[in-house]
């Protein structure tokens, strides 16, 4: 059965605080993330494994552990899109994009580096947001299970650029 396009709005807040130094952006929450009401909720998404490995920490399991891991290491996360039309979790199906307003996060933190998780997030950030923030984004390979060509090891190597800003 073909899935239909649905118009959806992002339902959870960015994770950041006044000490956040880097912002990692996804495109829009997956079906699993929307069900869990938190970022990178699909069990096959390697985001939490990559971040934990880079930081030398255990992979967080609960939302509270995930939030704590990020904030203790001055990492903020959010998504480029506030609302869009999408089929399931498919980035390639995204249309009718309304982007988030990044001023609240950027004005209330120390963020001066923005990384994007995957090509679609990069494309959307560059097209709609970069002029507004004045901060060019650094594209990282997607941690999504759809990016099966990238092993966990390769992802960790590519994502290690994050550490330059956090040390």
Locate the domains of the chain by residue range.
Answer: 6-166
pLDDT tens for 99-112 read: 999 999 999 999 99
Task: Decide: 77 and 70 in contact? Cβ < 8 Å.
Answer: yes
Q: What is the pLDDT of residue 2?
A: 65
Q: What is the pLDDT of residue 137?
A: 97
Res 140 pLDDT > 90: yes
Res 1 pLDDT > 60: no
Tell me how far CA of residue 55 lies from CA of 20, 24, 74, 165, in angstroms: 15, 15, 11, 12
Rounded Cα gap, residues 51 and 46, in angstroms: 9
**CATH number of the domain at 6-166, please?**
3.40.470.10
Residue 165 tokens read as 């800003």
Give the pLDDT band of residue 167 (cuts 50, 70, 90): low
Distance, CA of 167 to chain centre: 20
> If you average pLDDT over residues 21-46, what whole number do you get?
95
Beta bridge partners of 116: 25, 139
Q: Of 28, 153, 146, which is closest to residue 96 (Cα–Cα)?
A: 28
Sequence-separated contacts (24+) of 134-142 with Cβ below 8 Å: 135/106, 135/111, 137/25, 138/113, 138/114, 139/115, 140/24, 140/115, 140/116, 142/117, 142/118
The pTM is what? Answer: 0.95
Polymer length of the chain: 167
Q: Which of 95-99, 110-114, 136-140, 160-164 has the lowest mean pLDDT?
A: 160-164
Q: What is the pLDDT of residue 3?
A: 78
């Amino acid at each position: 059965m073909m899935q239909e396009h649905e118009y959806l709005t992002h339902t959870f807040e960015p994770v950041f605080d006044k000490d956040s130094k880097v912002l990692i952006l996804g495109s829009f929450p997956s079906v699993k993330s929307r069900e869990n009401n938190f970022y990178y909720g699909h069990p096959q998404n390697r985001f939490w494994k990559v971040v934990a490995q880079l930081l030398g920490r255990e992979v967080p399991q609960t939302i509270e552990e995930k939030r704590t891991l990020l904030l203790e290491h001055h990492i903020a996360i959010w998504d480029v899109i506030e609302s869009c039309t999408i089929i399931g979790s498919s980035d390639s199906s995204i249309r009718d994009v309304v982007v988030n307003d990044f001023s609240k996060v950027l004005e209330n933190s120390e963020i001066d580096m923005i990384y994007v998780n995957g090509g679609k997030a990069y494309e959307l950030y560059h097209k709609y947001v970069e002029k507004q923030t004045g901060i060019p984004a650094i594209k990282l390979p997607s941690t999504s299970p759809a990016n099966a060509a990238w092993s966990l090891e390769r992802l960790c190597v590519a994502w290690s650029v994050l550490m330059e800003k956090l040390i």
